Structures are given as C-alpha cells and as structure tokens.
Amino acid sequence: MNTSAAIQKVDAIIIGSGFAGMYQLHSLRDKLGLNAKVIERGAGVGGTWYWNRYPGARCDSESHTYMYYFSKELVQEWEWSERYPQQPEILRYLNFVADRLNLRSDIQLNTAMTQAHFNESTNRWLVTTDTGEQYDAQFLITAVGCLSNANVPKIPGISDFKGDWYHTGQWPHEGVDFTGKRVGIIGTGSTGIQAIPVIAAQAKHLTVFQRTANYSLPARHHPLSDEFKEYAKKHSADIYKVMTSNTNGHAFYIDDRSAIETPADVRQKTYEEKWEMGGFQFRASFRDLLTDEAANKTAADFIRQKIRGIVKDPKVGEILSDIDHPFAGKRPPIDDHYFETYNRDNVSLVDLRSAPIEKITAKGIKTTEQEYEVDIIVFATGFDAMTGSLVRLDIVGRNKRTLKDYWSAGPKTNLGLQVPGFPNMFTITGPGSPSVLSNMPPTIEQHVEWISDCISKMKAKGLNCVETSEAASEAWQKEVDRAAQATLLPKVKHSWYLGANVPGKPQVFMPYAGGFAHYRTICDKVASEGYTGFQMS
Ligand code: NAP
C-alpha cells in the first residue's frame, strides 16, 4: 500500500461502476467537462451484474427496457438476444458501454473506498482507498447499488461444514460444478427461484430449504425475433416515454380497472392471459392489486391455484402455495419452470416453517427434525438492502458524524438524493427514492440527470456547496411513509423493503412507493423552484 502518494484533486469521486456509476461519470466528465473518477472494488465494471453470476441469473425487466436511453446511438447500436437478458449478456452490454463511451480511463478497478471525510472548512471530501490513494473531491457520489451487500445468515456451525458454500451475490467467476453433488439451497426469493431449476438440472440431488413460501410468475423466456428487435429500435422514443411516465419504469402501464369491480369471469380471463404472457405484466392486471386486500386476494388465489396445479405431489404443492403475505407485498420473482422443478425425482423441499434450521454441521444442514447431508450449500439469502452498502462505507459528514450513526434508527434522506449533514454528497437510487420498486435503469438515469443538473447550476453560479436540510428530509421521510402506508407493502413484516431480513436492522420502509412518474415530477419541481429543501452556498 502506497501511503506517501500526493492527494489528487478532482471534482467528483463516484463509488461504483454499475449502470449508475458509469452514466454519472459520462455525465460529469463528457457533458459538464468535470474531472471525475470512479472507484470500483471489482476487477471489472458492471456492479450487480459483475458480482451476481449464480446459475440462472437473469434480469426480470425486459431487455429492451433494461438499458440506457440517454444516448440514441447506444440504443441503436446494441442488440439484445432474449426477452429477459441473462447475466453474461448484461455484463457484455455494460462493457460495451464502457468502451463505447471511453470510460475505462477514469474507472479505477480493484479499489475499495475505505473512508470519506467531509472537510467543513473547504466543503470538500477527503476520500481514501484501500490501495493507499487519497482524493480531495468537491463531490462524493455513491453509485453502490441497492442490493450489493450480501446477507449470509449467522447460522451456528458454518465453520464446521466440510463441503463448500457460496452466497449467490459473491459467486466464483470460474462457476461451480454441481455434477454428481448433493446440494442444499437456502432461500426462495427472486435469486433462489432463478437458481433452483438450473442447479436441479445438474446436481445429483437438490434440497430446497424454504422459510417463506413465495409467489412467482412465469417469465416465458424466448429469443427476440428480428421483427421485435427492429420495432424496439424504431420506437425507442415511444418506449422510453411509457417507461418514464408510469409507476414502475417498465414499458407497460398498470390497467386502470379494479379487480374487485371486474366480473369474476372477466377477471379470471385477464389473469389467465397475463399468466400466459409472462413477467411483471401480471402485476399490472388491475389498478388496486397493491392497495386493496380483497383485490390482492383475487390475484393471490389465482397464483396459489396455479402452483397446486403445476406441482404433482399435493403435500409439496401445499407447502409451496401456503403463502402468508399479499401478492407483490414482497418483490415477486419471475421464473423459468420453477414450480415444475419440484416434479423432478432429484429435488426435495424442506419446510423451515414447521422445522427451522438449528445449525450447520460438518455434513450438512440440521433442522429441528432432521439432518440433511449435502456436499454444497448455496445461500440465496439476499442482501442487507438499500442502506447496507452505504453504511458499511466509512462516510463521515459534518461534526464528525458517520452515516452509520446518523441512520442508526433508519435511513433519512431528501428524495433519496441527499442526506442532511453530508454536504456535497449524492446517493444515486438512495433510500427514499423509487429505486427497487421500479425498473432500475430509468430511475438511475433520472437521478444521474438530476444530480448533474444540480452540479451544473451550482458551477454556473460559482457556488461550491449543496446540502439538504434536516427539516426537508423529515418532511420527505413522512411522505415516504405516507406513500408506503397507502399500499399493502408495509403489511409484509418479513420483507427486505423494511430491512426485516437482517437481524438488528431498524425496520423502516425504505423505497418510495408513490410511483416513479410522480416522484420524477416532484424532483423536477424541486429543481425548477430553485432546489427547495436544498441550500446552496
Ligand atoms: P430475498 O428476496 O431477500 O430472499 C432471500 C431468501 O432467503 C428468502 O426466501 C428468505 O426467507 C431466505 N432466508 C434468508 N435468511 C434465511 C435464514 N436464516 N434461514 C432460512 N431462509 C432464509 O433475496 P434475493 O432472492 O437475493 O432477492 C433480493 C432482491 O434482488 C429481489 O427481491 C430483487 O429485487 C433483486 N433480484 C433481482 C433479480 C432480477 O431482476 N433478475 C434476480 C434476483 C434478485 P424469508 O422470506 O423467510 O426471509
């Protein structure tokens, strides 16, 4: 480690080189002419898609909406091959963008930020890395992703296990060969549900350890036709308009009909059609699915019935369909023959609700009922979401207060973009913004553009500090809470949206549930009215 190097002065340090960090670099460097640098702990660009290489990893957003739209050239030059892109294809796309925009020269790989301290006399950040460099930056911009801090549950006995274990979010680059192996997988969220069919196809035996049964929608993957590829390029402006003018950032609107007011036969037909169509369109079948318990139950019952119809063993079907929360109250996975996988002879299901995991032993996983011998354990146990990847960074703001300390009772931000007491710091898709409740790339683009405009306006006026106020952040947190309470989302007490999946984490509903388009309007209004709630000096 070289600690004697001179401190390098830059306009902005950006942490992370996924979708957010790369566009932020391009915006500051190539549009505003600033000196910006990205620090990336991985050995390559891609963020989430660099780390999440588990079997079956794909995006649940359709490929033609899971890309940058800020550049017509990028839209026209890139071609997706499938309806839902697989992880290697998304990583290729992000590498293509890094090359096409010549970003690599300002991205420092294999480097983790170890500290960022705000200097109140200069209004600048002193950023230190694990490679011994120090940067003196006017702006600190976090682009660390919402789901990047792996959550490996502290189950006793893990160090006794004689086999290999992996967390899906830290998957080995060389892959894992399951051939001839007995595999245990813990977790049936979006990740587990994607991985289970793929691992089952290779392993000698797969035992799935399910704590909470989950809804899942069929994805209906397929290669894209030449006609669709041409359509998506030709109509990219219209597609983008739909994505940015609705609640969810996808290229479809939520149907304005009420599930309750729709006659039962028509409702059933709608669900059947959406089920066949595949993907998140099912969630958009009716306007009241996420706000009215009775409406939600119609969708939930439909899916439960589908599960019981697909799974041949009625006992297994019962465990899989005994779901204790409203449909989409947790982020619903979409899958590729997930429930069908339980009809394979080499797959078994363990219901952890009736017999929880007691410990991990040298030979496998022991529940209160039985020990299951396995050669490999896969933890598909999710992430310390939204705040975990931020508080683990040693960020120290005004009055030497750490972000971790400031957020000890839960995150507090203004618009998910700034934190009071941390001037000149921006948090792309931070807690309090729609982020994970929306398709990520358009929400990232919106944040990057808002931040870049704000910086550009400051520069034009010769100002050097922007800081949100405590009062504005309090008011925004109230709005975040109000928006959540207007939905069924906070009713799910074991959801990562609330931080409930990480023991000891304060339980606060973190993303903004008021919808992407509405949120965007609020952000635009704040900017056009001279950045109300943000002081510039
Ligand atoms: P997750 O949704 O948090 O699911 C974690 C699973 O592990 C749950 O089934 C959970 O059970 C279980 N679990 C956690 N700790 C456990 C323990 N100690 N014992 C037993 N079971 C335990 O995590 P994820 O599946 O990685 O997904 C996280 C988010 O990432 C998704 O919601 C989605 O937003 C995103 N994602 C997106 C994609 C995509 O677009 N393709 C793919 C994967 C993930 P409980 O439910 O009982 O807590």
Q: Could you tell me if 60 and 279 are in contact, meaning their C-beta atoms sit under 8 angstroms apart?
A: yes
188 lines ligand 1 (CB under 6 A): yes
Distance 503 CA to ligand 1 centre (A): 14
Question: Ligand 1: which of 155, 190, 324, 502 to mutate, judged by most atoms within 8 Å of the beta carbon?
Answer: 190
Q: Is 352 in the pocket of ligand 1 (CB under 6 A)?
A: yes
End-to-end Cα, the chain, rounded Å = 37
Q: Determine the pLDDT at residue 1.
A: 47
Cα 111 to ligand 1 centre (Å) = 28
pLDDT tens digits in sequence order for the chain, 537 residues long:
445 579 999 999 999 999 999 999 999 999 999 999 999 999 999 999 999 999 999 999 999 999 999 999 999 999 999 999 999 999 999 999 999 999 999 999 999 999 999 999 999 999 999 999 999 999 999 999 999 999 999 999 999 999 999 999 999 999 999 999 999 999 999 999 999 999 999 999 999 999 999 999 999 999 999 999 999 999 999 999 999 999 999 999 999 999 999 999 999 999 999 999 999 999 999 999 999 999 999 999 999 999 999 999 999 999 999 999 999 999 999 999 999 999 999 999 999 999 999 999 999 999 999 999 999 999 999 999 999 999 999 999 999 999 999 999 999 999 999 999 999 999 999 999 999 999 999 999 999 999 999 999 999 999 999 999 999 999 999 999 999 999 999 999 889 999 999 999 999 999 999 999 999 999 999 999 999 999 999
Distance from C-alpha of 317 to C-alpha of 220, rounded to nearest angstrom: 21
| Gap from CA of 115 to ligand 1 centroid (Å) | 29
Burial 212-234, CB ≥16 within 10 A → b, else e: bbbbbbbbebeebeeeeeeebbe
Distance 192 CA to ligand 1 centre (A): 7
Q: What's residue 5's pLDDT?
A: 72
In a 13 Å sphere around the CA of 283, the CA atoms on its Cβ side amount to: 26
Q: Where are the alpha helices (DSSP H) in 221-341?
A: 226-234, 236-244, 264-277, 293-310, 314-321, 338-341
Å from CA of 101 to ligand 1 middle: 34
- Whole-angstrom distance, CA of residue 334 vs CA of residue 279: 6
Nearest Cα residue to 190 out of 22, 19, 338, 408? 338
Identify the residue whose C-alpha is closest to ligand 1 atom 2: 189
Q: 285 C-alpha vs ligand 1 centroid, how far in Å?
A: 24
Atom 24, ligand 1: which residue's CA is nearest? 382
Q: Alpha-carbon distance 333 to 490, whole Å?
A: 18
With a 6 Å cutoff on the Cβ, whether 71 touches ligand 1 is: no
3-state DSSP helix/strand/coil % of the chain, to nearest 5: 35, 20, 45
Residues of the chain with CATH 3.50.50.60: 7-149+385-529
Please tell us whether the domain made up of 7-149+385-529 is placed in CATH 3.50.50.60: yes
What distance in Å separates the CA atoms of residue 210 and residue 533, rounded to the nearest whole number?
A: 45
> Do the Cβ atoms of 31 and 452 come closer than 8 Å?
yes
Within 10 angstroms of residue 260's Cβ, the number of other Cβ atoms is 14
Q: Nearest residue CA, atom 20 of ligand 1?
A: 211
